[in-house]
């Protein structure tokens, strides 16, 4: 298969997630960056394109110019999908325009900044029939794919209890909220209605539903700005119910001093618990009622893994893969889908899954505003 051509919106000089997307696409091996609108600042956009080795004419000064320009190219030259790596509030406008211009869209998470924007996005996808993917990276690790086989595949019995937490410390102090990354994430106009719950809580939420295959139906949440002076939540927790009867707790906080990127999940089923932590991603602990605890690890030579985990493993056992490889799995599968061959166990989140995350943010917000009362997730649209 020849590489799938893509264009990027956002991700210019100094960005965090843009380079991550590009490296992921390079690792995927089936994608090729051919164009970009890397910044609203034309000079910065141009410099970014040049550094990436793009011809000047395909380093566009704006995302609308990019969509126009690419649409006008011959079919075998133009970008085959648009990757969106802007701050949250731009996801929807860019995506809607791209869909209407006929481009599939792969957007960073969360889907958008507001529920209203998300619904416009969804309407555009419905209207155009365009393909949409969302990069909930953590669900794309091999051992998460394996956990999904075990739990959602109902090989360990019904889910009893879930404990998920995503704790970071980078906003632990008021004075930490500096720099490009902190700035837009703490600004409701660009980040949306939720802070930590939007930025990282949605990853935790997505991880629960990915591994269990079971929707969260209701929750009771308490969000807050632990550091005085902030508008958005930087710390919170929730209790939740799964449709299948399981119960869970979720913590999302960016003021947990000392933690880096502490996403960790435990899922206890009737016959076994599975435990995974993102900072040590090549280990899946499976603790059964009887028998020794098991340490599952990736590797193309691991006969005991299921195909969805094997498929996304690049190296022999004992050669650790990491965050960039997980991200690459998303690009790899989205590129296959763009060419009409999505894998059954695709690693990218669907639009519907992106919408679920938005409803999660909204429900948590509503519950928290009303003394942590129980809120139904489905009815929050």
Binding to its own copies (CB under 8 A): which residues in 315-334?
A: 315-325
Smaller CB separation from its own copies, 44 or 161:
161
- Which of these segments, 81-89, 90-98, 121-129, 279-287, binds its own copies (CB under 8 A)? 279-287
- Which of these segments, 35-43, 100-108, 152-160, 339-347, binds its own copies (CB under 8 A)? 152-160
Other C-beta atoms closer than 10 Å to the C-beta of 315 total: 13
Among positions 74-113, residues that touch its own copies (CB under 8 A) are none
Nearest-angstrom CA–CA distance, 286 and 293: 6
Other C-beta atoms closer than 10 Å to the C-beta of 358 total: 29
Q: H or E segment at 119?
A: helix 115-128
Torsions phi, psi for 368 (to 5 deg): -65, -35
Smaller CB separation from its own copies, 176 or 345:
176
Give the x/- contact pattern for its own copies in 357-376, rule: CB under 8 A: --------------xxxx--
Q: Is 288 in the site for its own copies (CB under 8 A)?
A: yes
Torsions phi, psi for 306 (to 5 deg): -85, 160
Nearest-angstrom CA–CA distance, 96 and 101: 8
Smaller CB separation from its own copies, 5 or 355:
5
Q: Is 157 in the site for its own copies (CB under 8 A)?
A: yes
Q: How far is the CB of 13 from its own copies (least distance, A)?
A: 14
Q: If binding means CB under 8 A, how many residues of this protein chain bind its own copies?
A: 89
Q: Which of 110, 195, 273, 308 binds its own copies (CB under 8 A)?
A: 273
Q: Which of 167, 191, 202, 206 binds its own copies (CB under 8 A)?
A: 167
Residues 50/52/57/60 CA torsion (nearest 10 deg): -100
Among positions 16-55, residues that touch its own copies (CB under 8 A) are 16, 19-20, 23, 26-27, 29, 32, 51, 53
Question: 86-124 burial, b for 16+ CB within 10 Å, e for fewer?
Answer: bbbbbbbbbbbbbbebebbbbbbbbbbbbbebbebbbeb
Nearest-angstrom CA–CA distance, 243 and 160: 11
What letter does residue 56 receive in the DSSP assignment? G
Among positions 113-142, residues that touch its own copies (CB under 8 A) are none
Q: Which of 37, 84, 211, 269 binds its own copies (CB under 8 A)?
A: 269
- Which of these segments, 154-162, 202-210, 330-338, 357-365, binds its own copies (CB under 8 A)? 154-162
Q: Which of 42, 169, 188, 342 binds its own copies (CB under 8 A)?
A: 169
Specify whether the CB–CB gap between 325 and 23 falls below 8 A. Answer: no
- 262-269 and 235-242 strand pairing: unpaired
Four-residue CA torsion sign, 277, 283, 284, 286 = negative
- 262-269 and 159-167 strand pairing: antiparallel
Q: How far is the CB of 330 from its own copies (least distance, A)?
A: 15
Nearest-angstrom CA–CA distance, 39 and 86: 9
Q: How far is the CB of 139 from its own copies (least distance, A)?
A: 15
Two structure tokens written together for 113:
């900044």
Among positions 197-256, residues that touch its own copies (CB under 8 A) are 220, 222, 224, 226, 235, 237, 239, 247-249, 251, 253, 255-256
Q: Is 14 in the site for its own copies (CB under 8 A)?
A: no
Q: H or E segment at 277?
A: strand 272-277
Q: Is 182 in the site for its own copies (CB under 8 A)?
A: no
Q: Which of 33, 54, 66, 172 binds its own copies (CB under 8 A)?
A: 172
Q: Is 353 in the site for its own copies (CB under 8 A)?
A: no
Smaller CB separation from its own copies, 98 or 199:
199
Nearest by Cα to 299 from 310, 284, 283: 310
Q: Is 161 in the site for its own copies (CB under 8 A)?
A: yes
């Amino acid at each position: 298969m020849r590489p799938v051509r893509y264009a990027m919106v956002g991700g210019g000089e100094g960005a965090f997630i843009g380079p991550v997307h590009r490296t992921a696409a390079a690792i995927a091996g089936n994608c090729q960056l051919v164009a970009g609108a890397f910044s609203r600042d034309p000079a910065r956009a141009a410099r970014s394109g040049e550094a990436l080795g793009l011809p000047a004419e395909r380093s566009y000064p704006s995302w609308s110019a990019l969509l126009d320009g690419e649409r006008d190219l011959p079919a075998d030259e133009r970008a085959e999908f648009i990757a969106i790596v802007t701050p949250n509030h731009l996801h929807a406008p860019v995506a809607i325009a791209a869909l209407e211009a006929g481009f599939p869209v792969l957007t960073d998470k969360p889907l958008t900044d507001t529920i209203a924007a998300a619904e416009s996005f969804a309407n555009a996808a419905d209207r155009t029939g365009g393909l949409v993917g969302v990069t909930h990276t953590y669900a794309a690790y091999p051992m998460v794919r394996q956990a999904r086989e075990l739990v959602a595949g109902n090989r360990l019995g019904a889910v009893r209890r879930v404990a998920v937490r995503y704790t970071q410390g980078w906003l632990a102090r008021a004075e930490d909220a500096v720099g490009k990354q902190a700035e837009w994430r703490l600004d409701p106009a660009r980040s949306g209605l939720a802070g930590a719950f939007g930025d990282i809580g949605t990853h935790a939420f997505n991880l629960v539903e990915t591994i269990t295959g079971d929707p969260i139906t209701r929750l009771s949440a308490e969000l807050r700005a632990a550091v005085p002076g902030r508008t958005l939540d930087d710390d919170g927790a929730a209790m939740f119910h799964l449709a299948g009867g399981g119960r869970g707790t979720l913590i999302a906080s960016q003021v947990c001093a000392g933690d880096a990127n502490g996403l960790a999940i435990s899922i206890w089923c009737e016959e076994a618990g599975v435990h995974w932590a993102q900072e040590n991603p090549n280990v899946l602990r499976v603790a059964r009622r009887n028998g020794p605890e098991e340490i599952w690890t990736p590797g193309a030579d691991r006969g005991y893994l299921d195909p969805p985990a094997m498929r996304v493993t690049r190296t022999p056992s004992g050669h650790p893969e990491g965050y960039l490889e997980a991200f690459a799995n998303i690009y790899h599968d989205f590129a296959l889908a763009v060419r009409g061959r999505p894998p059954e166990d695709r690693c990218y989140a669907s639009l519907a899954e992106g919408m679920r995350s938005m409803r999660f943010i909204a429900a948590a917000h509503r519950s928290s505003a009303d003394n942590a009362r129980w809120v139904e997730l489905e009815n929050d649209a």
